[in-house]
Amino acid sequence: MGFFDDLMTWFGFKKKQAKVLCVGLDNSGKTTIINQLKPDTSKCQNITPTIGFSVDIFTHANLSFTVFDMSGQGRYRGLWEHYYKDVHAVMFVVDSSDKLRLPVAKDELDQLLAHPDVAGRHLPILLLANKSDLRESLSHIQCSKHLELDKLRDTAYHICSTNALTGDGLEDAVSWLSEQVRSWQTKQS
Ligand code: G3D
Ligand code: MG
């Protein structure tokens, strides 16, 4: 933190920063979701597969979210865990129409949830069952069963269906996240 940031914090001018890690398999819709959440002026029209990761910042409900859109491509998955200790919440995106890869998504989620920097810190987890517009997609309840979310203990989680192309479901999802981050930060301070 620089001198100016120190001063801003000292005088109470700075918004509480919430860092949200956005992960999920490739093609689940992470970039499209983040693009929907950003203000209109910073939206990009052509979405290309993320190489490595990119960082995006947006504000919602007075919280500033720093979202690391980590690439879900296999060789980059090992990068995710280096960010766990610095974030305040995790957004996990699942392609609800990709039944074949749901077990792979579950495996990634299980590894994430078991990580000491996630499990030990009781980070709130927002799961997005994305691509709800597709005829073959599973409902968020069906996804929840496949991911065995009922087995989660000591973790505040929420799963909802989203359509990243239209933004349907995203507002509710991020409102939940804001609330959780706020109460998580209050408990930690
Ligand atoms: P990623 O960042 O997780 O890898 P992207 O995924 O955001 O790049 O999205 C991958 C593809 O899925 C894109 O299509 C994107 O338009 C599409 N997509 C994302 N969200 C939804 C959704 O809710 N519904 C539907 N129908 N499609 C979605 P392309 O064709 O560009 O590969
Ligand atoms: Mg991407």
The whole-number pLDDT of residue 1 equals: 45
Q: Residue 137: which region, alpha, beta or left (left: phi > 0; alpha: psi -120 to 50)?
A: beta
CATH superfamily of the 18-188 domain: P-loop containing nucleotide triphosphate hydrolases (3.40.50.300)
Q: What is the mean pLDDT of each run of 10 residues along the chain (189 residues)?
A: 50 66 92 86 68 77 77 73 88 96 93 88 94 98 97 92 97 90 77
Of 32, 136, 163, the one to substitute when testing ligand 1's pocket (max ligand atoms within 8 A of C-beta) is 32
Ligand 1 in contact with 30 (CB < 6 A)?
yes
Ligand 1 in contact with 49 (CB < 6 A)?
yes
Whole-model pTM?
0.88
Q: How many Å lie between the centroid of ligand 1 and the Cα of residue 160? A: 17
CA angle 53, 55, 56 (to 5 degrees): 135
Nearest residue (by CA) to ligand 1, atom 28, is 131
| 130: Cβ contacts below 8 Å, ≥ 6 apart | 28, 29, 33, 93, 94, 95, 96, 161, 162, 163, 164
The whole-number pLDDT of residue 17 equals: 73
Domain locations along the chain: 18-188
